[in-house]
């Protein structure tokens, strides 16, 4: 299993709550969810990957279950990983999806 399928199903269910259309694409050895071709959130192994606006990222990185996305062994700009402990509820997961969607909409 390249990515957490249970988390993928949780994300798919949450995305049904949005009027926007999302697409799935395999990326980073996992799966990503895109809005108008712009990445919002994704899954790499067991972690949720989220794109966050630059002016909001520092506030997220102080949280216990959030760390810089270091897929390339260097932190990637505007990307974070959220561990499973940070998305135990659907409200927590929805929060990160909304952050990712906000980022995607800012790039249109």
Cα–Cα distance list, 61 to 34, 72, 100 (Å): 23, 18, 15
**Given this model, what pLDDT does residue 61 score?**
97
Question: Which pLDDT tens digit goes with each residue over 16-32?
Answer: 999 999 999 998 889 99
CATH of the domain at 88: 3.30.1460.30
Q: Check: CB of residue 102 under 8 Å from CB of residue 40.
A: no
Question: Which pLDDT tens digit goes with each residue over 42-93?
Answer: 999 999 999 999 999 999 999 999 999 987 788 889 999 999 999 999 999 9
Its sign, for the CA torsion 82, 32, 45, 1, is positive
**Spatial separation of the C-alpha atoms in residues 22 and 69, rounded to whole Å:** 22
**Domain count along the chain:** 1
Which structural domain, as residue segments, surrounds residue 45? 5-106
Q: What SS3 class is residue 46?
A: coil
């Amino acid at each position: 299993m390249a990515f957490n399928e249970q988390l993928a199903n949780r994300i798919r269910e949450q995305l049904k709550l949005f009027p926007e259309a999302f697409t799935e694409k395999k990326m980073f050895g996992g799966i990503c969810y895109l809005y108008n071709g712009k990445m919002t959130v994704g899954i790499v192994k067991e972690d949720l990957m989220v794109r966050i606006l630059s002016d909001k990222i520092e506030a997220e990185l102080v949280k216990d279950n959030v760390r810089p996305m270091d897929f390339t062994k260097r932190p990637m700009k505007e990307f974070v990983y959220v561990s499973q402990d940070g998305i135990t509820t659907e409200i927590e997961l929805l929060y990160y999806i909304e952050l990712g969607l906000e980022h995607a909409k800012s790039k249109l």
